[in-house]
Amino acid sequence: MSADFNETRVPTTDWQAYRGVLSRRVFAFLIDYAIIALLWIPAAVVVFFLGILTFGLGFFLYPALFAIVAMLYFGLTMGGPSQASAGMNVMGLALARVDGRPVDFLTAIVHLVLFWIGNALLTPFIVLVGLFTDRSRLLHDLLLGTVMVRRDRY
């Protein structure tokens, strides 16, 4: 896939592009959250010094810091040229929109927030949704009009 953000790329209808996507998504999730946990450490140090500089006001960022780091991580990676996070790249996955437009920063963040809401309400059933939908789409994929595809078949 080229780095041209104006390129229209409609996901394929070939069933092999979606074979094994659910198991790959689980492992990509584990890899991504390990990376986010590692990124959270330097962010926590920055917030600590920010808290000292602002006479304690910066410390109010700590409760939301993990969410902020995760949103920036997924917004910049999934909304970037590769249309995939680091874990998705390792597992050979990419996120695509069904209308063919590239995933932007805001769509990637909304995708993440809908995933969190779905996990809070439906855990562990969120993965089971993918067993019964076309192209192994999860609930947040259906709501946003996105699909996870294997990069080698896309």
How many domains does the chain contain in total? 1
Query: Is 55 a member of any domain?
Result: yes
Looking at every residue in the chain, the average pLDDT score rounds to 89
| Digit-coded pLDDT (tens) for 64-92 | 999 999 999 999 999 999 999 999 999 99
Residue 8 has pLDDT above 70, yes or no: no
Owning domain of residue 139 = 16-153
Query: Is 116 a member of any domain?
Result: yes
| Digit-coded pLDDT (tens) for 29-44 | 999 999 999 999 999 9
Query: Is 10 a member of any domain?
Result: no
Residue 7 has pLDDT above 60, yes or no: no
Query: Is 71 a member of any domain?
Result: yes
Residue 143 has pLDDT above 60, yes or no: yes
* CA distances for 123 relative to 65, 91, 118, 119, 120, angstroms: 23, 23, 7, 5, 6
CB 136 within 8 A of CB 127: no
